[in-house]
Structure 1
Amino acid sequence: MIGGDYQGLGIARSLGRHGIPVCVLDDERAPASASRYVAHTTRVPDLRDDDAALAAIERAAREVAMDGWLLYPTRDETVALLARHRGDLEPRFRVTSPSWAAVRVCWDKRETYRTAAELGIDHPRTWVPQGPDDLEDLVDADAEGPFVVKPAIKEHFFYSTGVKAWRVDARDELAAVVARATAVAGPGEILVQELVPGGGREQYSYCALVRAGTPVAVMTVRRRRQHPSEFGRASTFVETVDLPELDAPSERFLAAVDYDGLVELEYKRDPRDGRARLLDVNARTWGYHSLGAAAGVDFPYLLHRACTEDAPPPATVRTRPGVRWIRLATDLPNAVRDVRAGTQRLGTYLRTLPGADTEAVFSLRDPLPWFYECALLPYLAVRRGL
């Protein structure tokens, strides 16, 4: 497993409960290393550089004798690394990431929205300027804002700015923000997108284990809270829901790219017409994937079975609705900010807390990671804003 944060901890617990040995490879301090289900942890200097990450993976394989083990990535850049270097890795490992052809369409949002447009999948109006001078001719005349300015490839922007996107309320402010974003990510790597109204509470996701373009395990959720609230880096409070309207566009997208593996497609419902618009496609486990096990579908373990036994479920299995997941380490401080800003009622927020069925890190069966994360909170806040 490459990455040992709460997402990686969920993978370790999923596999460890079934007696599958787990090794964590990470360039950060993370709670998974304290889990009873992790047999070995290897700290490495850098996982963001391809050559350094490949060398670290090979070195760990020699030290721990991991021939034939599955590689589970938890970050987008690691997904891309494994997909691009599948041929180098497969003699020793089983790579759980999809092919590079499929990953590229998810990783690069220019390709994501181009594919969505070709398939007739609803998505926000999007423009790709080379720089601020293109905006007047490129952006539709009736688009007055608000807009979202964001990178085509998140990693080229996020590690420099610490955010996923910038909001621009008016068209006359757009050029300055695009110029600033282009200086970070480079010409042609910035997207200008119409902001779908409705706030973060109108965000939904279709999560699945996919084999050869066909979903075999599915979970649909409402991402009720996220951190930060408007352009969330991560969900903080999520509930499974029955949302069949997401099935057809998601299945169409996944079949078109011949997807294979775990995936999350993020949507936002547009209150102007009630339609769900595709925002992102994440070619990996998503942060709240452990909600699946609580709701009846254990995604990392099912992926392990599919890769080692060639035995996916005989028919598509789905999670049951009404199950809730929370990550208190980010949900609580984010709620404090929202209450102070007047966008969240304290009483409404407090009433949701007893309804959570599973917590991202806390577990009575595996308690040490929670204490370890509590000790790490100052480090995590500085390192990546939790």
Structure 2
Amino acid sequence: MGSSGAVLLGGAHGSLALARSLGAQKVPVAYITNDSPLPGWSRCVGTTIRWPGTRDDNALAFLLEAAQTHQLQGWLLVPASDPEVRLVSENLAALSSIYRIVLPGWDALQWACDKPLLYKRAADLGLAIPKTYDIAPSLDQADIPELTFPVVLKPHMGGGNSRIAKAKVVRADDAASFLSAYRDAAGQIGGENVVVQELIPGGGESQFSYAALWSEGKPVAEFTVRRTRQFPVDFGYTSTFVEVVDEPRAVIAARALLASIGHSGLVEVEFKHDSRDGTLKLLDVNPRPWSWFGLCASAGVDLGGMLWETANGRASSASAPRLGTAWMYLARDAISSMRLMLRGGLGLMAYLRSFASVRSWAAFAWNDPLPGLIDLPLTAWRVLTKRLLKKIISRR
């Protein structure tokens, strides 16, 4: 049996933050990835292991064999990206024979991860959700239902390599653009996997999240934030400026949902305030480390450290979060803020004042500087190779 540690499976900035949280407790960390190398540059990660990813037919076998090859038996396995969450949850019995895992099985977790099931469960619990339309998978012009535009199209689950999965949200402002967007999305992931909803007005300032660690259907620690700025500014692929706030409505709704599935593990539940009726509407659930996970420790609620304690059967005591504490993804927040300024939605002094509350950065840390130094050139390289070059090749 190898010495006890943690295995982070996939992810990027959230995995980096979790590795730092575990490293502060002297926990050995291994990182398994087929995508971003960023967390592997942290001094808190001892081993980086490349693997073929969740789509490979031998993905499960790889994880089982990796425990033997790298002496990871008995280590805590934390899936840190959507496809990895599903793989681990669906194969919980097999993986739990070698690793320690704090996560429900797929029969329960699918009610949080699969959006149609999520919205059904929310409706059954009386939770507010955006208006969601029932669309025929094979849609033609005559089948377009009565939609109130604008609407958004989303994949039914996170993760994947399709364009809509990477974009997360596609907007349509009229019937023609909707039909085109729907057919394109259906061609990528199948019409039955496309969710169509009303667009709730507002940007990042209207978005809130509930962040927590749960164990056996009960919260161990929890707090709420406002995802004040995001990139892109209209439909955030990622948050860029997040600050701790008190939003009790998010706590009440998230507790009801997570208790209904008996949740265990890390979780972020996303909401958006609808100014039209004053409600907070459920958008998404992420049962894994999220991009702004580094804010947890800075806000005084170290969910990563508490996850380790929980996995080892030790009780954790949660402190009250420090309201106003903020996290920033500097490079992308600068771009988002500039766009907001050009629209008149953000003043220069307000942007500069926001730095005063930042206690955590997406990649940089004074005691672990290397990831922060390589994050910008790494992002630029990934954009060049994975997006721009693919567009050029596809056009040719």
Q: Note if contact 1:128-1:190 (Cα within 8 Å) is conserved in structure 2.
A: no
Are 1:71 and 2:77 matched, yes or no? yes
The answer to whether the aligner puts 1:80 opposite 2:60 as a matched pair is: no
Residue 236 (1) aligns with residue 240 (2): yes
Cα distance, 1:103 vs. partner?
Answer: 2.1
CA offsets 1:354-373 (integer angstroms, 9 cap, x no match) = 33121121111111111232
Match status 1:374 vs 2:376: yes
* CA distance 1:361–1:133, change in 2 (3 Å): closer
Q: Which residue of 2 aligns with 1:364?
A: 366
Equivalent residue, structure 2, for 1:108: 114
Per the alignment, residue 37 of structure 1 pairs with 44
Closer/same/farther in 2, CA of residues 342 and 48 from structure 1, 3 Å limit: farther
Report if the CA contact (8 A) 1:204-1:268 is conserved: yes
Q: 2:193 aligns with which of 189, 192, 195?
A: 189
How far residue 380 of structure 1 moved from its aligned partner, in angstroms, is: 2.9
Cα distance in 2 for partners of 1:209, 1:161 equals 26
1:13-24 residue pairs with structure 2 within 5 A? Answer: 13-24=20-31
* Deviation readout 1:323-378 (Å, 9 max, x if unpaired): 10011132223334444555544443233223312112111111111123233132
Q: 1:277 aligns with which of 262, 281, 296?
A: 281
1:325 counterpart residue number: 327
Gaps of 5+ in 2: 1-7, 388-396
Counterpart residue type for residue 39 of structure 1:
G
Is the Cα contact below 8 Å between 1:326 and 1:358 reproduced in 2? yes
Query: How far off its partner does 1:39 sit?
Result: 1.1
What's 2:391 paired with? Answer: none
SS at match of 2:191: coil
Structure 2 counterpart SS, 1:94: coil
| TM-score, length of structure 2 as denominator length | 0.89
1:2 is matched with 9
Q: From the superposition, tell whether residues 134 and 192 of structure 1 become closer, same or farther in structure 2 (CA, over 3 Å).
A: farther
Aligned AA (2:119): Y
Select 2:250's aligned residue among 227, 246, 250.
246
Structure 1 residue 14: Cα displacement: 0.5
Alignment of 1:261 onto 2:265: yes
User: Shift in Å at residue 57 of structure 1?
Assistant: 2.3
Give the partner amino acid of 1:363: A
Q: How many Å separate the matches in 1 of 2:75 and 2:199? A: 42
The residue type equivalent to 1:208 in the other structure is A
Q: How many angstroms apart in 2 are the aligned matches of 1:3 and 1:198?
A: 31
- Matches of 1:328 and 1:56 in 2, distance apart? 36
Instruction: Flag the 1:80–1:70 CA change in 2: closer, same or farther, 3 A.
Output: same
Q: How does 1:101-140 map to 2 (within 5 A)?
A: 101-131=107-137, 133=139, 139=145
2:11, 2:81 within 8 Å by CA — same for their partners in 1?
Answer: no
Contact 1:151 1:189 in 2 (8 A): yes
CA RMSD of aligned residues (A): 2.3
CA distance in 1, matches of 2:207, 2:108: 24
Percent identity, please: 36
Contact 1:127 1:138 survives alignment (8 Å): no
Whole-Å separation in 1 of the counterparts to 2:257 and 2:140: 30
Unpaired runs of at least 5, structure 1: none
1:62-81 residue CA offsets vs partner (Å, 9 max, x unmatched):
23211110111110110000
* Aligned residues of 1:97 and 1:260 also touching (Cα < 8 A): yes
**What residue in structure 1 maps to residue 390 of structure 2?**
none
Q: Measure the CA separation in 1 of the matches of 2:179 and 2:189.
A: 15
Assess if the C-alpha contact under 8 Å between 2:163 and 2:188 holds in 1.
no
- The question of whether the paired residues in 1 share the 8 Å contact of 2:162 and 2:188 is answered with no
Query: 2:374 and 2:311 mapped to 1: Cα distance?
Result: 32
Query: What letter is aligned with 2:89?
Result: A
2:393 counterpart residue number: none
CA 1:161–1:49 in 2, change beyond 3 Å: closer, same or farther? Answer: closer
Structure-2 change in CA distance of 1:329 and 1:64 (3 Å): farther
